[in-house]
Amino acid sequence: MVVRRCYEGLHFGRPTVSLQDAAAVIRLAWQVERDEAIPARDEALAELAEVQEAMLTLKAAIIRHSGQDEWRALWGEVLKELERAREIRRLREHFAMAARPVHQPVRGNVRRVRTAGRARAVRRGGESGCW
């Protein structure tokens, strides 16, 4: 909201919020998000450590009961499935990004105005453009 007011103020020639204030608010928001993310990161790291410990226990049990060759065969299958899961995740992210609308910035001697609830591009001279 601060950035929007700053932009509007600059756009209409009367600054209502200084750029320094806007930058300070953005830095503060970043710090709050970062501080909130630290407990989630620590929890994820603890969970990862538990999974690694369980994996080592499983490996030792398989080697003890079936031998090293059986473990290598099983681990090879696990790695194949892991690679398949990574590819599926990559494709999902690709198509999720492709589905997002792309915002085209207004350039040059054109500004956005809101009329009757709809935004349209207008040349600075006042006439509507065919966009």
Enter the pTM of the model.
0.43
Q: Is 123 helix (H, G, I), strand (E, B) or coil?
A: strand
pLDDT of residue 17: 67
pLDDT digits (tens, 9 = 90+) for 57-74: 999 999 999 999 999 999
CB count within 10 Å of CB 6 equals 19
- pLDDT above 90 covers a percentage of the chain that reads 34
